[in-house]
Amino acid sequence: MAISEQSSKNSGTMVEIDRLIHEPARFNIMAHLYVIQSADFLFLQKQIGLTWGNLSSHLAKLEKAGYIEIEKDFIGKKPHTMLYLSNNGRTAFEDYHKRMKQVFKHLPA
Amino acid sequence: MANISNLKEIEKKVFSSYFHDGMLDLYGGLMLLGFGLSILTNKIYLLIICITLAMVPLLIRKHIVLPRLGLVKFSAERQAKTKKSKLIALITGVFILFLVTFFMALFSVNILPAWVEALMNDYLLAFLGVMIASIVAIAAFIVKVRRFYIYAVVIFIVFCLASILSPLDMEGIIIVSAGGIILLSGTIIFIRFLHHNPLSREEIAKWQ
C-alpha cells in the first residue's frame, strides 16, 4: 500500500481538531475566558503568564477568527481593554472539548 | 497542559487569585488589634482608630492592587454564588449581633439565671471567639482562601486562651498578639504581591 494511500485512510479516522485552539497558549486564553464573563488585558496576562507582545499576537489571531471580542474604552482618562469570548468562540471551545474527549475516549487508562 | 485541563479548577484559581493581595488580612488584623488594644488599655478610642485605619486597605486595593492585578468580571453563575454566600454571611452576622445584644441586655438587667450569668462571666471571651471565628470561616468559604480557615482556628484558640487567662489580665495581650500575627501575615502577603506583580512600563504610562 502506498504511503499516501495509508495516510489518507488514517486521516479519514482522525477527528478534525481546531488547530487555532489546540495551541497551548491560545487554549489557555480560551479556557480562562470561557470560565469568566470578561477580563482586561492585564488580568489575563497575569493569569496566563505570557508577555505583552505574545499575548497580543495570540489575541489578534483569536479575534481574527471571531472567537474573542476586544472592547476598548476609557476608565476616566485611562485607556482600557476588555476581552470576552464571543458566542462563536464559546461554541468552538465546547466543540474542541468534545472532539478532544472523543480522541482519547478509547485510550486505555 | 495537564494543569490547565480542569475548567472548574481554572475558575476557582482565577477567583481566589483576586484575594491573594493580603488586603482582607490587613483589614481583619487591624480590627482584632483595635479590639485587643481597647481591652488592654481600657480606651475605646483605640478601637475606633483601628476600625478607621481598617478602611485603608480598601484604598490600597483600589489605587495599588487593581492597577497591578487587572480587572475581571466573573461569570453570572459565580456572581450569583458570591451574592448568595454574602447574604448567608450577612444573615449570620446579624443573627450573631442580635444574639450578643440580646444576652448583653439580659445580662445588664440581671434577669438571667445565675448559672448562665456565671457561664457568661467565665467564658464570655470564648463565646466571642466562636462568633468571630465563625465569621472568618464564612469569609474563607466565600473567597475560597485556605489561610482564612487557619485564621479562624487561630482566633478561636486565642479567644479561648484569653478567656482562660482573663483572671490574670492577659486577655488584651493575647488578642493584640493574634491581631499582630494576622496583620504581619497580611503585610508579608502584600509585599509578596507587590514583588510578584510590578507595574509594567505600559501600565505605568497608562495610570499616569
Range of the domain at B190: 14-207
Task: Indicate the average pLDDT of chain A.
Answer: 82
Centroid of chain to Cα A97: 11
Q: Which of A17, A23, A35, A82 to mutate to test the interface with B (most CBs of B within 10 A)?
A: A35
Chain A partners within 8 Å of B202 (Cβ): 52
Residue A14: per-residue pLDDT: 59
Which residue blocks in chain B are alpha helix, DSSP H? Answer: 7-17, 23-41, 44-53, 56-60, 66-69, 76-108, 114-143, 147-165, 171-196, 201-207
* B25 Cα to chain A: minimum distance (Å): 22
Q: Is residue B5 part of a domain?
A: no
Size of interface A-B (CB pairs under 8 A): 62
Of A31, A37, A42, the CB nearest to B203: A42
Do A18 and A92 form a contact (C-beta atoms < 8 A)?
yes
* A34 Cα to chain B: minimum distance (Å): 8
Residue B188 has pLDDT above 90, yes or no: yes
Q: Is residue B86 part of a domain?
A: yes
Cβ distance A36 to B1 less than 8 Å, yes or no, reads no
Average pLDDT on B16-32 reads: 86
CB of B149 less than 8 A from some CB of A: no
Residue A109: per-residue pLDDT: 62
pLDDT tier, B46 (very low <50, low <70, confident <90, very high otherwise): confident
Q: Is residue B77 part of a domain?
A: yes
Residue A59 has pLDDT above 90, yes or no: yes
| Residue B53 cell numbers, joined | 485605619
Residue A34 has pLDDT above 90, yes or no: yes
Cβ distance B11 to A28 less than 8 Å, yes or no, reads no
Cβ distance A40 to B70 less than 8 Å, yes or no, reads yes
pLDDT tier, B196 (very low <50, low <70, confident <90, very high otherwise): confident
Q: Is residue B83 part of a domain?
A: yes
Residue A89 has pLDDT above 60, yes or no: yes
Average pLDDT on B27-40 reads: 84
Which residue blocks in chain A are alpha helix, DSSP H? Answer: 3-13, 19-22, 24-35, 41-48, 52-64, 87-104
User: Structural domain boundaries of chain A?
Assistant: 18-104
* B1 Cα to chain A: minimum distance (Å): 7
* A35 Cα to chain B: minimum distance (Å): 6
Choose which CATH entry (3.40.50.11810, 1.10.10.10, 3.30.70.141, 1.10.10.60) describes domain A18-104.
Answer: 1.10.10.10
Residue B3: per-residue pLDDT: 46
Instruction: Tally the domains of chain B.
Output: 1
Residue A62 has pLDDT above 90, yes or no: yes
Contacts of A79 (CB under 8 A, 6+ apart): A72, A73, B206
Q: Is residue B7 part of a domain?
A: no
Burial of A12 (0-12, 13-18, 19+ CB in 10 A): exposed
Residue B203: per-residue pLDDT: 61
Q: Is residue B103 part of a domain?
A: yes
Task: Indicate the average pLDDT of chain B.
Answer: 81
Q: Is residue B159 part of a domain?
A: yes
Do A64 and A89 form a contact (C-beta atoms < 8 A)?
no
